[in-house]
Amino acid sequence: MTEQQNLVEVKHLKEYFQINTGLFSSKPLKAVDDVSFAIRKGETLGLVGESGCGKTTVGRTLLHLYKPTEGEIWFNGKQIVTKQDILEYRKKTAMVFQDPYSSLNPRMTVSDIIGEPLDVHKLYASKAERQEKILDLMAKVGLNSEHANRYAHEFSGGQRQRIGIARSLAMGPEFVVCDEPVSALDVSIQAQVINMFDELQNQMGLTYLFIAHDLLVVRHISDRIAVMYLGKMVEMADAREIYDHPLHPYTKCLMSAVPLPDPKKARENKRIVLHGDIPSPLNAPSGCPFRTRCPYATAACAESMPEFKEVSSGHFVACHNMEKFN
């Protein structure tokens, strides 16, 4: 994989939040702990894991909505370091938020919500040009021009998410972080919105980081999938490869829970049930964070975090005992 093909690269990213544990004491909550990956131009990388594993924090830190504690973020071959870098970078990136109900201003019309990025960066010469750009964005996401002067509360969840997507595309971004963009929507609407993401990617040459916990959604839209557990990346591979040949015990467990449409295959599918609760990120286990729930854990797992390494072409796994059960 050449450097030119990578649009976004993340190297050893860490995001720690200091949490007060007493009157004068605090402790770091390691929301993202030493994560590295790259996203190629025009592809969709799906990021999955249980709630609280650090998926959203990765997305927000990647866009510098949180200041990284450590690590490097590269965009188009250039490291993002200075304030000026961040300013330029933000013009080429965007985020679609999870909840279409709380991410839109109830006092603004649809036209003003979508036009806000255009106003901030002064991307039009006249009011007529502004209106033309807004209507063009609305058409791209399947909204009618007569919706422009209505307010967000007058729309359904799916339509509100479309407004949010139109707003995120206003700057003509190259890279979009989609933070669980369909989890708050009805299943019937989810498919429409996901298909729209696909169409927009083809039309505008977009690159996505698609964060979700619904594995069927991720499978449909992603070229590659990365799996996180308690702030660490445990596996990453092509979407088909990770579904057909998961290698990490946590990924195997996740994949066994995916509902299968074929009743015969569903009956043959052996569900792997995890025992125990997810440890608190404030008191994460030593070594591999998954070891407290892993049926294959050994003493080595408690001593050190396994290296996130490439075991076959494009397939990365972090596990000490992978050979024993694959």
Q: Which of 264-278, 292-306, 312-326 has the lowest mean pLDDT?
A: 264-278
The pLDDT of residue 4 is above 70: no
- Residues 127-139: tens digit of each pLDDT: 999 999 999 999 9
267-294 average pLDDT score: 86
| Planar angle of CA 10, 254, 71, nearest 5 degrees | 15
* Confidence band of 266 (pLDDT split at 50, 70, 90): confident
263-274: average pLDDT: 79
**The predicted structure's pLDDT at residue 2:** 45
Q: Has residue 171 got a pLDDT over 90?
A: yes
Name the range with the highest mean pLDDT among 21-30, 158-167, 212-221: 158-167
Q: Give the lowest-confidence range in 54-58, 181-185, 194-198, 262-266.
A: 262-266
Q: State mean pLDDT over 48-60.
A: 93
How far is CA 248 from its chain centroid? 20
pLDDT at residue 122 in the model: 87
Residue 280's pLDDT band (boundaries 50, 70, 90)?
confident
Q: Which residue has the higher pLDDT, 80 or 213?
A: 80
The answer to whether the Cα torsion of 44, 288, 66, 96 is positive or negative is positive
| More confident of the two residues 88 and 270 | 88
Look at residue 265 and tell me whether its pLDDT is greater than 50.
yes
Q: What is the pLDDT of residue 1?
A: 41
Give the pLDDT score at 95: 95
What share of the chain has pLDDT > 70, as a percent?
Answer: 99
Q: Residue 279 pLDDT more than 60?
A: yes
Q: Kindly tell me if the per-residue pLDDT of 3 is higher than 70.
A: no
- What whole-number distance in Å separates Cα of residue 314 and Cα of residue 211? 20
pTM attached to this predicted model: 0.92
Q: Cα(246)–Cα(269) distance, rounded to whole angstroms?
A: 14
pLDDT digits (tens, 9 = 90+) for 95-116: 999 888 888 999 999 999 999 9
Q: Which CATH superfamily is domain 3-92+173-325 in?
A: P-loop containing nucleotide triphosphate hydrolases (3.40.50.300)
pLDDT in tens, 7-27: 999 999 999 999 998 888 999
Edge-to-edge, what's the strand order for the sheet holding 26-40? 26-40, 6-20, 70-75, 78-79
| Cβ neighbours for 88, distance < 8 A, ≥ 6 positions apart | none
- Domain residue spans of the chain: 3-92+173-325
